[in-house]
Amino acid sequence: MKTKRFFYGLILITLISSCVSQTDYDKLKAENEKLKTDIEECKNGAEKLIANTEKAYSEKNFAEARKNIELLAQKHPESPKNNEFSSLLKTIDSLELQEQKKKEAEEKERKRLENLNNSGIWSVQFYVDDFGEPTKQGYIRNTNLISGTFSNTATQNSDLNVKILITNSSDINIMLYEYAKDNPVKAYSSDSYQVLIQDKDGNRLKLIATNYSDRLNFDKSASRQVHNILMKGGTVKFKIYEIDTPTTQYDFTIDNADFYENAYAKL
């Protein structure tokens, strides 16, 4: 049965083909090709692409404008508009970057407002007087000690605890507790340290801190730089070397400094 149907179908196709002359076939083919060309011209003609580009740009649809500029250069390299649109692409790049930064700032502000009472690892506390009573002078510190390691001529990669004290953006100190004990590293005159810091974006700073008692103190300028890094949040890495004894090294990382700005606002 299937063989018969195929046979009859083949005869029908042969009869239809024989009814169309070669001239008519060529004419239909030419008309079809012209129709394809007209459709292509309608979609991607130079004037159409130029109009689409200008419309998209005026509506701040930069992705659509970019697409049409690239199509114009590809399909109509002879168009005098290509030079003008090449400059327009640079403007679009700049505007897109501004838009991206605006969105990032809006998202950051949204998160800040959502977490207004969240200070992350940071807490605001108050210094005490000679009687152990709280004063009105507050400071920020990491609520829990930060863990790290230290090495010197006597030990390698031993446990380290770290406390960061921020009285204000111009007064920042670091206390180092070797072997994760209770007594911080002390200086009996003054010891200088080189402090390398890497912020969340991979940017690095090389600062100097001085220990006059039981903490490494940054001067005003260095403190402000540390403060700005903490304000950015994220992961912050520290490497500290004692300048007079470079074999003494301290390494620690703040895994997430987010919401420091909320703690600072409270302070």
Q: First CA to last CA across the chain, in angstroms?
A: 92
Q: What interhelical angle do 81-114 and 62-75 show, nearest 10?
A: 160
What's the rounded Cα separation, in Å, for the pair 119 and 262? 5
Q: Which residue has the higher pLDDT, 22 or 101?
A: 101
pLDDT digits (tens, 9 = 90+) for 38-93: 555 556 788 899 999 999 999 999 999 999 999 999 999 999 999 999 999 999 99
Full-model pTM = 0.63
| 3-state SS track over 159-211 | EEEEEEEEEECCEEEEEEEECCCCCCCCCCCCEEEEEEEECCCCCEEEEEEEE
Query: Sorting pLDDT into bands at 50, 70 and 90, what band is 108?
Result: confident
User: How many CB atoms neighbour CB 47 within 10 A?
Assistant: 11
159 φψ region: left (φ > 0), alpha (ψ -120 to 50), beta (else): beta
What does the domain layout of the chain look like in residue ranges? 22-111, 123-266
What's the rounded Cα separation, in Å, for the pair 234 and 199? 8
pLDDT digits (tens, 9 = 90+) for 135-191: 989 999 999 999 999 999 999 999 999 999 999 999 999 999 999 999 999 998 899
Amino acid at 222: A
Dihedral sign, Cα of residue 224, residue 199, residue 121, residue 129: negative
11 pLDDT higher than 80? no
Closest CA to 46 of 79, 74, 70: 79
